[in-house]
Amino acid sequence: MIALEYVLIAAAALVIISILANKVSGRLGVPALLIFIIVGMLAGSEGPGGIYFDDPQIAQTIGIIALSYILFSGGIDTRWSQVKPVLLPGICLSTVGVVLTAIVISLSAVVFLGFSPLEGFLLGAIISSTDAAAVFSVLRSSRASLKGHLRPLLEFESGSNDPMAVFLTIGAITLLTNPGQSILTLIPLFVQQMAIGGLFGYGFGRITVWLLNNLKLEYNGLYPVLTLVMVLFVYGMTTAVGGNGFLAVYISGLVIGYSTCIHKRSLIHFHEGIAWLMQITMFLTLGLLVFPSQLLPVLMPGIVIALILIFVARPIAVYLSLIPWKMQKNEKVLLSWVGLRGAAPIVLATFPLIAGIPQAYTIFNMVFFIVIISALIHGTSIPFVARLLKLDAPLPSISRFNIDYMPDISAKNEHIELTVAPGSKADNKQVVELDLPEGTLIILVARGEDQFVPGGSTVLLAGDVILVLVAPENEVRVKQIVQGVEEPGPGNYRKNTGGRQKEKSHHLSE
Distance, in Å, from the CA atom of 490 to the CA atom of 141, rounded to the nearest integer, reads 25
Predicted pLDDT of residue 50: 84
* 422 and 382 in a common domain: no
* 189 and 72 in a common domain: yes
Is position 510 within any domain?
Answer: no
Residues of the chain with pLDDT under 50: 408-410, 486-492, 497-510
Is position 491 within any domain?
Answer: no
Is position 53 within any domain?
Answer: yes
* 258 and 180 in a common domain: yes
Q: What is the DSSP string of 21-87?
A: HHHHHHHHT--HHHHHHHHHHHHBTTSTT-B----HHHHHHHHHHHHHHHHHHHHHT--HHHHGGGH
Is position 492 within any domain?
Answer: no
* 222 and 152 in a common domain: yes
**Rg value, the chain, Cα:** 24
Predicted pLDDT of residue 399: 64
List the CATH number of the domain containing 224: 1.20.1530.20
Structural domain harbouring 238: 4-393
Whole-structure pTM value: 0.79
* 44 and 113 in a common domain: yes
* 360 and 458 in a common domain: no
Whether 83 contacts 260, CB under 8 Å: no
Q: Cα 80–83–86 angle (5° rounding)? A: 150
List the CATH number of the domain containing 472: 3.30.70.1450
Whether 260 contacts 205, CB under 8 Å: no
- Buried b or exposed e, range 235-254, using 16+ CB within 10 angstroms: bebbbeeebbbbbbbbbbbb
Predicted pLDDT of residue 485: 55
Distance, in Å, from the CA atom of 497 to the CA atom of 361, rounded to the nearest integer, reads 47
Amino acid letter, 47? G
Burial grade of 88 (CB within 10 A; 0-12, 13-18, 19 or more): middle
DSSP classification of residue 167: H
β-partners of residue 145 are 393
Q: Which residues fall within 8 angstroms of residue 264, CB to CB, at 6 or more apart?
A: 256, 257, 406, 408
* 348 and 426 in a common domain: no
Split into its structural domains, the chain has a count of 2
Is position 250 within any domain?
Answer: yes
Predicted pLDDT of residue 226: 95
* 46 and 191 in a common domain: yes
Amino acid letter, 249? V
* 424 and 303 in a common domain: no
Whether 370 contacts 309, CB under 8 Å: yes
Predicted pLDDT of residue 509: 34
Predicted pLDDT of residue 30: 67
* 451 and 302 in a common domain: no
Is position 189 within any domain?
Answer: yes
β-partners of residue 429 are 460
Is position 404 within any domain?
Answer: no
Domain edge (last residue) among 335, 363, 393: 393
Distance, in Å, from the CA atom of 118 to the CA atom of 237, rounded to the nearest integer, reads 30
* 73 and 147 in a common domain: yes
* 384 and 447 in a common domain: no
Distance, in Å, from the CA atom of 320 to the CA atom of 335, rounded to the nearest integer, reads 12
Is position 405 within any domain?
Answer: no
Torsion of CA 333, 323, 164, 334, to 10 degrees: 10
